Structure 1
Amino acid sequence: MQLYLYKKGQGYYTRLWGAIACFALAAIGCYRMYQILTGTTNNPWVYTIIPAAILAVITFCIYWLQNRPKVADFLITAESELKKVTWSSKDQIITSTIVVLAVVVILALLLGGIDVLFRLVFTVIGLYN
């Protein structure tokens, strides 16, 4: 049986990793359901088949949703836009991180100093004990 894939070959990685992420979330949820059902019933058919059936339905829904023209076109466009991104070099990231940390430290010291100053002023005028 040949599965139909809308615009096959386009948006491959976005579809693949999107499906893997959705499946992983569904599998975690179904495993949690399995754990809960195991504690509430002694029937192995109930606590095994129900989460497996739900996971199968979710998997089919993921496949069906990714073949919808609007969703598939969005994923294809998203992948093409990601290919245009220019990622920062290691040196740029290190420099930017140092600048951000320096600004955070300076602002923390400034706000701390202003807090001490206000506390001192309010203590002198008797509004703070």
Structure 2
Amino acid sequence: MGLKIYKSGQGYHTRLWTGISIFALVATGCYVLYGQLAQAGILVQTLVPMAICVAFAGGLFWLLNNRKVADFLISAEGEIKKVSWSSRREIVSSTMVVISVVIIMMILLFLADFVFRYVLDQVFNIY
């Protein structure tokens, strides 16, 4: 397969952002490993995380150009393009409904807690 990109014109954004996201996680892990290897000497501290990053980058390139994975990501991007996204107005109104329900539930739970605490205090003198 070499360095040839499988179906290079298809699923570009999905493969790109999947690769960037996974590599960002690996690079963060390598940075933490770099800090953990401070006692091992500068050569080991630098080369081990760098080798892991390079190995994961190569593996990630291979994975994202693997026939099955690439076809899945291409079809996922195709399905996302078919989605009918909500308008800004619908999102704002739905968000307001959710926030209102959360506030109402918070008030009801506070009142229930207050009543139970009062009853327990009166019956058992706990508080």
Spell out, residue by residue over 1:70-122, the C-alpha distance to the aligned partner (whole angstroms, 9 max, x if none): 11111111111111122222222221111111111212222222333334444
Shift of 1:63: 0.7
Instruction: Give the number of aligned pairs.
Output: 125
In the other structure, the counterpart of 1:127 is 124
- 1:22 is the counterpart of 2:22: yes
Scaled by the length of structure 2, the TM-score of the pair is 0.84
Scaled by the length of structure 1, the TM-score of the pair is 0.83
SS where residue 6 of structure 1 aligns? coil
Unmatched runs of 5 consecutive residues or more in structure 2: none
Whole-angstrom distance in 1 between the partners of 2:4 and 2:86: 38
Whole-angstrom distance in 2 between the partners of 1:108 and 1:22: 38
Give the AA of the match of 2:64: Q
Q: CA RMSD in A?
A: 1.9
Percentage of matched positions with identical amino acids: 47
Unmatched runs of 5 consecutive residues or more in structure 1: none
Give the AA of the match of 1:19: G
Whole-angstrom distance in 2 between the partners of 1:71 and 1:128: 64
Bigger shift: 111-120 or 7-16?
Answer: 111-120
